[in-house]
Amino acid sequence: MLAFVDLVRNRLPFDDLVCKEKTIDAYYHVPAEKSYETVVRMQCINRTNQPIKNFAPIQDGYYERIPNWKCQHGLLGSPQVNVVVHKANEEIRESNLPGGAKTIYLYQASSEFKPPLPSGDRVDLLYRVLATGAAVEEAAFSDDGTMFVGGVDYATLTYIITVHAPPAHEIQLRDWGVINANDDKIPDETEHQKKAHICVSSGLLQWRVSLAKKHLRYMLKYRFKALL
């Protein structure tokens, strides 16, 4: 197993950061609570021969305009650098996702290393994004359900998406797959991944993606159903 991991790492690029693992946990609340939370962890290494200044933006997209969008971040371990996150901005984009809203509200904040991350150094970033003031992802509680579409900013060995149902709700998986920039499912890429699975007792939907690519996106379609 270790030999396989070393082989895969040797295939990752040497001209950018690469990530050993990226995890994202999406915590849903019932619409009346007007709250939605994501927690992201990125474990990366600078594989270039130069220091790196710019880091990936912290961002999330919603079908609703968010009155209050906040981000908290910190580095784990004993970092030699700091990550500075700048003021967030809102951008409105059109969506091509079938069955979804046609407008996406993207909130993002650029970030950078201070001082720049030296060659060969690692960084372990944890951040929490809280969106409040609107009934976020209300469609997730309807018969049609909703979609989670995520991706990676750097070549990533393991990308883990976990969706947490609110209390007294079960989660039902409708579809999953790897999609391109045009929101079309890519059969070959999808077949190479293990299927997303549901943990009924914990109210979780999780998809563990291997060798995630930054030019692709990873889609889950699901709905929540109130327990009787």
Structural domains of the chain ordered from first start: 17-226 (2.60.40)
Q: Which residue has the higher pLDDT, 82 or 79?
A: 82
3-state secondary structure 51-91: CEEEEEEEEEEECCCCCEEEEEEEECCCCCCEEEECCCEEE
Compute the mean pLDDT over every residue in the chain, rounded to the nearest whole number: 90
- What distance, in Å, lies between the first and last C-alpha atoms of the chain? 44
The answer, yes or no, to whether the previous bond of 115 is cis (omega within 30 of 0) is yes
pLDDT band at 4 (very low <50, low <70, confident <90, very high): very low
Residue type, 190: T
Contact present, 225 and 188 (Cβ < 8 Å) = no
Predicted pLDDT of residue 6: 46
Inform me whether the pLDDT recorded for 8 exceeds 50.
no
- pLDDT tens digits for range 177-194: 999 988 899 999 999 999
Inform me whether the pLDDT recorded for 1 exceeds 80.
no
Predicted pLDDT of residue 89: 95
What percent of the chain clears pLDDT 70, i.e. is strictly above it? Answer: 91
DSSP state string for the chain: -HHHHHHHHHHS-SSSEEEEEEEEEEEE--GGG-EEEEEEEEEEEE-SSS-EEEEEEEEEEESS--SEEEEEEEE-S--SSEEEE---EEEEEE---TTS-SEEEEEEEEEEEEEEEPTT-EEEEEEEEEEESS-TTGGGGSSS-EEEEE--SS-EEEEEEEEEPPTTEEEEEEEEEEE-TTS-B-HHHHHTSPPPEEETTTTEEEEEEEEE-TT-EEEEEEEEEE--
Please state the rounded mean pLDDT for residues 116-144: 95
Distances (CA, A) of 121 to 6, 78, 81, 212: 18, 11, 10, 21
Inform me whether the pLDDT recorded for 146 exceeds 60.
yes
- pLDDT tens digits for range 20-70: 999 999 999 999 999 999 999 999 999 999 999 999 999 999 989 999 999
Predicted pLDDT of residue 7: 37
